[in-house]
A and B are shown apart, each in its own frame.
Chain A
Amino acid sequence: MKALWIGAAGLMGLALLPVQAQKSSADAIAEYRKMLEDGNPADLFEAKGEALWKQKRGPKNASLESCDLGKGPGVVKGAFVELPRHFVDTKKVQDLESRLVTCMSTLQGLNADEIAKTPFGRGEQENVTALATYVAAASRGLRFNLPQAHAEERRMYEIGKRVFYFRGGPYDFSCASCHGEDGKRIRLQDLPNLNKNPGDGIGFAAWPAYRVSNGQMWGMQLRLNDCYRQQRFPYPGFGSEATIAVSTYMGVNAKGAESIAPSIKR
């Protein structure tokens, strides 16, 4: 990062030369994000995920190359922008991370319950995050188009809407408290309105993402887990119905938005 800061100092120097109106905080943040774009450490997780996808692992000593993410066995490109969706073999709507765990369990023989109980950033959960980053990267630039043809997909959307508005916890917060209106922010962090398409590369279309502030790669499951932490709710289980429902709600609302995942965040 040292080299980057020296470059950044040069950039700021150039920006101050022309006489102009005070830069808005939104502009300054956008400039900071532009500087961070190059060398996104998410690339490292993407590379790791790709290696894990192809590597023979687990008691069954098999790779994930025949994993069906919704577009057929082994089809990775385009899968991310159609998740969560209903799967015939598990008879339920699954998001990317829970579907990856299904494949790790059925194809590789790894223990799905153990993985679900493992904290984020440790053990197999680290691998799930890397795999999710790889799968998301393969759909970079594509637009969200979650299916709603199956009755279960529509049911999860409706459940997701209710979860989104459900107020609870000691602050009586719901997702909607922060993400229910246009133009809101917390300190310097803009909050997208997740009741509709918030725009290309925003909200649902920006995760998985690398968070510079803590140097961690976050998938949507961890993003939601942390939202609940901030609302002082109990932690949702990994891949729980509530998280998949709310992901379905956000994903369907984001129809047409361009995915920039894996992106970089403050």
Chain B
Amino acid sequence: MAADPMRIRAQAQGDKAVVRVLMSHEMETGQRKDSAGKTIPAWFIQEVTAAHNGKTVLNAEWGPAVSKNPFLQFTIKGAKAGDKITVNWVDNRGEKRSDEATVT
């Protein structure tokens, strides 16, 4: 895994947990041109999955509309302190990143 790590914070709030993820990614749309006039190739996260104690709870398909260094926030019903949250992403180059956090 060459990409920079994600920052994941998961906080228990009553019977749910709020998960906040900050991903490090250029998210190039493929529309920009560099100073020489050449198009900068598209490079963006295509798939995001999140799991709670091993069970998939979120599945997302992203495209070039999502900005650089994406921030994602979601709530998991029934998650409590100590539970393990894993977030994965795969981009259009096939690079991936997986990080985990514990619900506080």
Does A89 make an interface contact (CB < 8 A)? no
8 Å CB interface, B34-88 against A? 62, 65-74
Tell me if A48 counts as interface (CB < 8 A to partner B).
yes
- A39 adjacent to B66 (CB under 8 Å): no
For A44, give its contact among B7, B62, B72 (CB under 8 Å). Answer: B7
Choose among A7, A41, A43, A48 the residue with the greatest number of B CB atoms under 10 Å from its CB: A41
B67 touches A39 (CB 8 A): no
Q: Is there contact, CB below 8 Å, between B73 and A44?
A: no
With A38-B20, A41-B22 already in contact, the answer to whether A1 and B7 are too (CB < 8 A) is no
Cα of A4 to Cα of B71 in the assembled complex, Å: 7
Assembly CA distance A47 to B21 (angstroms): 14
CA distance A41 to B7 in the complex (A): 9
Question: Which chain A positions have C-beta within 8 A of B4?
Answer: 44, 47-48
Number of B interface residues at 8 Å Cβ cutoff, please give it.
Answer: 18
B30 within 8 A of A: no
Please measure, in the bound complex, the distance between the C-alpha atom of A77 and the C-alpha atom of B73, giving whole angstroms.
30
B13 at the interface (CB under 8 A from A): no
* A2 interface contact, C-beta 8 A: yes
- Would you call A1 and B22 a contact (CB within 8 A)? no
Smallest CB separation, A166 vs chain B (Å) = 31
Nearest residue (CB) in A for B67 is A1
A59 within 8 A of B: no
Closest Cβ of chain A to B63, distance in Å, is 9
- State whether A43 touches B62 (Cβ < 8 A): no
A7 and B73 CA atoms in complex are apart in Å by 9
Contact partner of A41 (CB less than 8 A), chosen from B5, B20, B66, B69, is B69
Tell me whether B98 is interfacial, beta carbon within 8 Å: no
Asked if A39 and B62 make an inter-chain contact with CB atoms under 8 angstroms apart, the answer reads no
Q: Which residues of A contact B102 (CB under 8 A)?
A: none
- A144 → B minimal CB distance (Å): 27
CB of A215 within 8 A of CB of B7, answer no
Q: Check B22–A43 contact: CB distance below 8 A.
A: yes
Q: How far is the CB of A184 from chain B (nearest CB, A)?
A: 30
B73 adjacent to A215 (CB under 8 Å): no
**Which B residue sits closest to A2, measured CB to CB?**
B66
B66 touches A1 (CB 8 A): yes
Closest to B24 in A: A44
CB-CB < 8 A to A41: which residues of B?
Answer: 22, 24, 68-69, 71
Complex partner residue of A39 from B22, B65, B68, CB under 8 angstroms: B22
Q: Mark A208-224, 1 if CB is under 8 A from B, else 0.
A: 00000001000000000
Interface residues of B in 3-25 (CB under 8 A from A): 4-5, 7, 20-22, 24
B20, B21, B71, B74: which contacts A1 (Cβ < 8 A)?
B71
The reply to whether the CB of A19 lies closer than 8 angstroms to some CB of chain B is: no
B66 to chain A: which residues have CB within 8 Å?
1-2
Q: Which residues of A contact B65 (CB under 8 A)?
A: 2
Whether A14 is near chain B, meaning CB under 8 Å from some CB there, is no
Query: Is A3's beta carbon under 8 Å from chain B?
Result: yes
Given contacts A43-B22, A44-B22, A44-B24, contact A38 B71 (CB under 8 A): yes
What residues of chain B lie closer than 8 Å to A39, measured between beta carbons? 20-22, 71-73
Interface CB pairs A-B, < 8 A, 9: A7-B73, A38-B71, A38-B73, A39-B20, A41-B24, A43-B7, A44-B4, A48-B4, A215-B68
Closest 9 CB pairs of A and B: A39-B71, A41-B69, A1-B67, A215-B68, A44-B24, A39-B22, A3-B72, A2-B66, A43-B7
